[in-house]
Amino acid sequence: MLVKTEAAGSSGVPRWKWLEKIHLPFHVVMTTLVGIVVLLVAREYILLIRSYKYLIALLIIGVAAAAFLMIPRKFNFFLYGLGFTLPFFIQVILMQRDRGILSVTGTSLVILGTTVVGLAMGYIGKPRVYLEPRITIPAALFLFACCLSFIATTDLTLSIITLIQEIEMLVLFLVLVNAVTDTKRLLMFLRGLIWGFVIECFIYYLQYLVGFSFDVLGNRKFDGATDFETGSVASPRGTWAAAPATAALYFSLMTLMLTGIYLSRKKVAIGFKPILGMMLGISCLILSTKRAAMAGFAIAVLVLLAMLPRHAPGAIRKLAIVLGSLAIPFLACLPIFMLRAEANHESAYEERANLTKVAWNMYHSHPVIGVGFGTYDSVKRDYLPPGWTGWLYTVHTRYLLILSETGAVGFTALILLYLSILVVAYKGIQKTAPEYRPVQITLFCCLISLYWEQAWDIFNSKQQGYLYWIVASLAVIIPRVLSAEGHGESELSA
């Protein structure tokens, strides 16, 4: 009776059995601890400069980084994020000189993360690396022409900053074409792209209603609201932190892509109804009231109608639904469209035509290598025509801007690059499986719209560069992943 059969450790004290079930890897624990220490130190530093906005942003980044460690498919997460975060533009400015900005953007960080994780886990570079010489060689020639203009530049630092931006776009292209190599990854990227677009549409509606734009950090840009009585038209900027034309271009391109997805004979499981996305996109495009983007969209639709009978005749039966779906939001926004149509277009054209005189003076003074890549704004006053009057700004056409900054050499290289991408996209139509051929056709139409836009816009921002090179990347990816041989087609509708 004096001998106890129970062990000493089995007293009435309850055991915390749930603790025994937790098995945290050492690297996760240490990474979390280091992250907490870094956050605490950064918190004290930010409090000293009294910037709570950046403190909150840093805390969110810390929480996101901690959550990232628990994600099982990290590479797919980055692919999704690369598409999703595109319209939600943020940047940290490292250096600013005149209008040139050297910065690290959110998209830059996602590209870097995709590259590091892809290389470390073997998703990029195995079994082969896609260099796409049909595009990268003309791109390298254009970069060389930009470097050649350094001979005449008056501000080497500004020229280098602008060159780095162009290099980043080529890196984005190479990362995407090597990261999206099968249907599962393509679907992941498209889902992020579409859902980011949907959220951006609703943010755009909100900005139109409240009468001012704001970015994801809460910085506001007061544009005013559209007033039918006075005839004033306001154009929200979305969360692009750029001119309203960038948001308008984005909506037109995404509407075209969704049109191609809808016209495909096999379903593309993007997780959202393409027809509804088209209606959201066209309504936001009209609310933007940007003439070049709307005209570019109309031209792209005409090209689409001309190409479908030859390359995807099976999609013609869906055209009536497409056109009807686009007509509904157009009619709903018709008063805004008509208000914009009644604006003084002649005066706006004369202002922009007047700006071309300065650009032509630059070209005639330096016809071969230009005045220096990225230096247009810093030297434009040196090339004013005699008796100049009127608005002085950067020439509103990408082509003439490149001609004046890099001369005939750079302009020729740029046109060669654009034509190469256009040819690759067109040849890719026949290489794409017939079921998904309308997607490739609309990507070709997107390029047409982009080239039209560049005839009327400066088109030298990072945001616009991202849009262009993502379209170019998809024009290369779609024919390879959804090839006519039919490899993995069923997975895209899974």
Beta strands 100-105; 212-214: pairing state: unpaired
pLDDT range class, residue 7, cuts 50, 70, 90 = very low
Q: Residue 122 domain-assigned?
A: no
Beta strands 91-97; 100-105: pairing state: antiparallel
pLDDT in tens, 251-264: 999 999 999 999 99
For residue 268 the two structure tokens come to 């593309």
Q: Which residue has the higher pLDDT, 103 or 41?
A: 103
Separation CA 376–CA 218 (nearest Å): 31
pLDDT range class, residue 8, cuts 50, 70, 90 = very low
Question: How far lies 305's CA from each of 52, 323, 440, 448, in Å?
Answer: 52, 11, 14, 14
Asked whether the predicted pLDDT for residue 66 surpasses 80, the reply is: no
Of 468, 426, 422, 413, nearest in space to 173 by CA: 468
Average pLDDT over residues 245-274: 91
pLDDT range class, residue 266, cuts 50, 70, 90 = confident
Q: Which residue has the higher pLDDT, 489 or 306?
A: 306
pLDDT in tens, 158-196: 999 999 999 999 999 999 999 998 899 999 999 999 999
Q: Residue 165 domain-assigned?
A: yes
Percent of the chain with pLDDT over 90: 48
Q: Residue 404 domain-assigned?
A: yes
For residue 150 the two structure tokens come to 């350094």
Q: Residue 493 domain-assigned?
A: no
**Encoded amino acid at 65, one letter:** A
Of 58, 6, 4, 56, nearest in space to 35 by CA: 58
pLDDT in tens, 385-410: 888 887 888 999 999 999 999 999 99
Average pLDDT over residues 268-276: 88
Q: How many domains does the chain have?
A: 1
Range of the domain at 147: 136-182+243-485
pTM recorded for the entire structure: 0.85
For residue 171 the two structure tokens come to 């890196």
The whole-number pLDDT of residue 151 equals 94
pLDDT range class, residue 28, cuts 50, 70, 90 = low
What mean pLDDT value characterizes the chain?
85
Go through the chain and tell me how many residues it has: 494
Asked whether the predicted pLDDT for residue 75 surpasses 80, the reply is: yes
Asked whether the predicted pLDDT for residue 4 surpasses 50, the reply is: no
Q: Which residue has the higher pLDDT, 236 or 366?
A: 366
The whole-number pLDDT of residue 261 equals 93
Average pLDDT over residues 142-150: 95
Of 163, 139, 168, nearest in space to 419 by CA: 139
Q: Lowest-confidence range among 20-29, 162-171, 324-333, 445-454?
A: 20-29
Q: Residue 277 domain-assigned?
A: yes
Question: How far lies 262's CA from each of 208, 330, 433, in Å?
Answer: 28, 19, 15
Asked whether the predicted pLDDT for residue 211 surpasses 90, the reply is: no
The whole-number pLDDT of residue 304 equals 94
Average pLDDT over residues 266-271: 84
- At 478, give phi and psi (nearest 5°): -55, -50
Asked whether the predicted pLDDT for residue 125 surpasses 60, the reply is: yes
CB 197 within 8 Å of CB 87? yes
Q: Residue 414 domain-assigned?
A: yes
Separation CA 285–CA 251 (nearest Å): 6
Identify the DSSP state of 242.
S
- The three-class DSSP label of residue 289 is coil
Q: Which residue has the higher pLDDT, 55 or 120?
A: 120
The whole-number pLDDT of residue 314 equals 84
Q: Residue 315 domain-assigned?
A: yes
Asked whether the predicted pLDDT for residue 19 surpasses 60, the reply is: no
Asked whether the predicted pLDDT for residue 20 surpasses 60, the reply is: no
Per-position DSSP letters for 110-122, written without gaps between them: HHHHHHHHHHHHT
The whole-number pLDDT of residue 46 equals 63
The whole-number pLDDT of residue 241 equals 81
Asked whether the predicted pLDDT for residue 89 surpasses 70, the reply is: yes
For residue 282 the two structure tokens come to 């066209």
Q: Which residue has the higher pLDDT, 202 or 63?
A: 202
For residue 267 the two structure tokens come to 């379903």
**Encoded amino acid at 425, one letter:** A
pLDDT in tens, 428-480: 999 999 999 999 999 999 999 999 999 999 998 899 999 999 999 999 999 99
- The three-class DSSP label of residue 193 is helix
The whole-number pLDDT of residue 346 equals 79
Q: Residue 450 domain-assigned?
A: yes
Asked whether the predicted pLDDT for residue 26 surpasses 60, the reply is: no
